[in-house]
């Protein structure tokens, strides 16, 4: 065979290989066959009204590029899934866990739960406990929940399902009291929506690790039940904000307790102290050298110890103590600093805010 015949044979073989490869090539996806905007539009047309919360069809696999391989077991967050009947107290349960230090995500599609856990595992311990609220508004995603739970189990994720329920009568009363329709009642009655939701959640209720019937519970009793399950042996923390303010600028709208320091002489009328604030040592000394100042601090700190115990029993986690004087510059600032120091010494996490100290 001469050189021309060999070249012809090689070209023929290459052409045949190209036709074979073209024949075996898999069909193009939407993103390959269209521009990104066209692919997005086509995907939207295919999904129609499905999955508005996630922007993709039911059963779609979500990838973040995060792999759990190599993540230490100690870094994998603990997971709680909160679900149940609308009006049964899901929001209260979620708020309770949030107050206990959990990272709470509301209405997360179940298909994204493993991704959320993976992100928590990559947070280097900053997100050690995750709570996810799942409700009927995400009902298109419930088919993915079992698959997500199996995925979590294979990765040794500690998880619990908390299911909140109430009787039909209790739920009807609650919806009527707030004058809002049940999310599933449509043009029907509230009881129709409740029945539809109960059927949708029947299987999930059977999988729950903890079922809480809130028919006869108030908010504080539900919080107590959640604390008993998730707070551990330690008593839930109470966090305090001590805020100085000036009465002439108005009461703080978020104050739980208000203290009036105007029974003490005003350093404003002492020329050498007027320019300073209650943070100044001389101003503070002037305030606490006045008759009744130290006794007031001691007695009010004692009162707060009594109040703390009651707040904890009632499930209150935050308290704002507003300490006022005329302008919020001298007496209230000095007393707020001393009061906050007392609370800190007794183990109360405390923040001090001087709302009006910089005003004139």
Output DSSP code: residue 61.
P
**51 vs 47: CA distance, rounded Å:** 8
User: Do residues 159 and 110 lie in contact, with contact meaning Cβ atoms separated by under 8 Å?
Assistant: no
Q: Quick one: pLDDT band at residue 241, thresholds 50, 70, 90? A: very high
Q: How confident is the model at residue 139, as a pLDDT?
A: 55
pLDDT digits 0-9 by tens, 316-358: 778 999 999 999 999 999 999 999 999 999 888 899 999 999 8
Q: How confident is the model at residue 273, as a pLDDT?
A: 95
Ranges 155-169, 250-264, 318-332: which has the least confidence? 155-169
Residue 69 CB-half CA count within 13 A = 2
Percent of the chain at pLDDT exceeding 70: 75
Q: Quick one: pLDDT band at residue 234, thresholds 50, 70, 90? A: low
- Mean pLDDT, residues 91-120 taken together: 88
> Residue 82: in which H helix or E strand, if any?
strand 78-84
| Residue 72 confidence (pLDDT) above 90 | no
| Residue 143 confidence (pLDDT) above 60 | yes
Topology classification of domain 73-230: Rossmann fold (3.40.50)
State the burial class of residue 219 (Cβ atoms within 10 Å of its Cβ: 0-12, 13-18, 19+): middle
CA dihedral 277, 282, 285, 289 (to 10 degrees): -100
| Residue 109 confidence (pLDDT) above 70 | yes
| Residue 175 confidence (pLDDT) above 90 | no
Residue reference for tokens 């102290």:
273
Q: Quick one: pLDDT band at residue 63, thresholds 50, 70, 90? A: very low
User: Do residues 172 and 191 lie in contact, with contact meaning Cβ atoms separated by under 8 Å?
Assistant: yes
Question: Among 328, 360, 358, 313, which Cα is nearest to 258's?
Answer: 328
Q: Which two tokens stand for residue 181?
A: 């329709």
CA angle 206–211–213, rounded 5-degree value: 125
User: Do residues 157 and 115 lie in contact, with contact meaning Cβ atoms separated by under 8 Å?
Assistant: no
Task: Give Cβ neighbours of residue 128 (< 8 Å, ≥ 6 apart).
Answer: 77, 78, 120
- Mean pLDDT, residues 137-143 taken together: 60
Q: How confident is the model at residue 156, as a pLDDT?
A: 75
- Mean pLDDT, residues 117-137 taken together: 82
Q: How confident is the model at residue 147, as a pLDDT?
A: 81
**264 vs 331: CA distance, rounded Å:** 8
Give one word for 259, left, alpha or beta, with left for phi > 0 and alpha for psi -120 to 50.
beta
State the burial class of residue 122 (Cβ atoms within 10 Å of its Cβ: 0-12, 13-18, 19+): middle
- Mean pLDDT, residues 70-92 taken together: 80
| Residue 68 confidence (pLDDT) above 60 | no
Q: How confident is the model at residue 148, as a pLDDT?
A: 84
Ranges 51-55, 122-126, 161-165, 302-306: which has the least confidence? 51-55
What distance lies between CA 248 and its chain's CA centroid? Answer: 36
Percent of the chain at pLDDT exceeding 90: 37
User: Do residues 321 and 257 lie in contact, with contact meaning Cβ atoms separated by under 8 Å?
Assistant: yes
| Residue 263 confidence (pLDDT) above 90 | yes
Q: How confident is the model at residue 145, as a pLDDT?
A: 79
Which pTM was predicted?
0.53
- Mean pLDDT, residues 116-139 taken together: 80
Q: How confident is the model at residue 51, as a pLDDT?
A: 36
Q: How confident is the model at residue 141, as a pLDDT?
A: 63
**355 vs 243: CA distance, rounded Å:** 7
User: Do residues 133 and 88 lie in contact, with contact meaning Cβ atoms separated by under 8 Å?
Assistant: no
> Where does CATH 3.40.50.300 sit in the chain?
73-230
**Got the DSSP string for 124-159?**
TTS--EEEEE--GGGGGGGGGHHHHHHHHHHTT--E
- Mean pLDDT, residues 21-45 taken together: 41
> Residue 239: in which H helix or E strand, if any?
strand 239-246
Task: Give Cβ neighbours of residue 46 (< 8 Å, ≥ 6 apart).
Answer: 57
pLDDT digits 0-9 by tens, 29-38: 433 444 333 3
Q: How confident is the model at residue 310, as a pLDDT?
A: 84
Residue reference for tokens 């499905």:
50
Average pLDDT, the chain: 78
């Amino acid at each position: 065979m001469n050189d021309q015949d060999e070249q012809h044979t090689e070209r023929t073989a290459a052409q045949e290989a190209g036709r074979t490869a073209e024949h075996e090539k898999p069909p193009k996806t939407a993103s390959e066959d269209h521009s990104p905007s066209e692919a997005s539009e086509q995907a939207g047309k295919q999904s129609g009204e499905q999955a508005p919360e996630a922007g993709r069809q039911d059963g779609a696999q979500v990838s973040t590029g995060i792999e759990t391989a190599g993540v230490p077991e100690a870094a994998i967050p603990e997971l709680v899934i909160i679900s149940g009947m609308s009006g049964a107290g899901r929001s209260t349960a979620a708020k309770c866990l949030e107050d206990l230090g959990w990272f709470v995500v509301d209405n997360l599609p179940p298909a994204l739960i493993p991704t959320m856990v993976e992100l928590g595992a990559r947070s280097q311990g900053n997100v050690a406990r995750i709570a996810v609220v799942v409700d009927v508004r995400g009902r298109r995603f419930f088919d993915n929940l079992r698959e997500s739970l199996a995925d979590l189990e294979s990765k040794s994720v500690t998880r619990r399902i908390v299911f909140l329920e109430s009787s039909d009568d209790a739920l009807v009363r609650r919806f009527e009291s707030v004058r809002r329709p049940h999310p599933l009642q449509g043009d029907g009655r509230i009881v129709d929506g409740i029945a539809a939701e109960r059927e949708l959640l029947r299987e999930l209720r059977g999988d729950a690790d903890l079922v809480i019937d809130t028919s006869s519970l108030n908010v504080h009793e539900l919080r107590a039940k959640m604390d008993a399950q998730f707070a551990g042996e330690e008593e839930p923390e109470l966090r305090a904000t001590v805020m100085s303010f000036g009465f002439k600028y108005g009461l703080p709208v978020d104050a739980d307790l208000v203290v009036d320091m105007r029974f003490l002489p005003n350093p404003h009328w002492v020329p050498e102290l007027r320019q300073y604030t209650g943070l100044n040592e001389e101003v503070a000394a002037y305030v606490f050298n006045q008759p009744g100042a130290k006794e007031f601090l001691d007695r009010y700190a004692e009162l707060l110890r009594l109040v703390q115990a009651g707040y904890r029993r009632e499930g209150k986690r935050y308290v704002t103590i507003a300490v006022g004087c005329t302008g919020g510059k001298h007496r209230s600032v000095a007393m707020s600093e001393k009061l906050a120091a007392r609370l800190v010494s007794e183990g109360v996490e405390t923040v001090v805010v001087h709302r009006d100290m910089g005003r004139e």
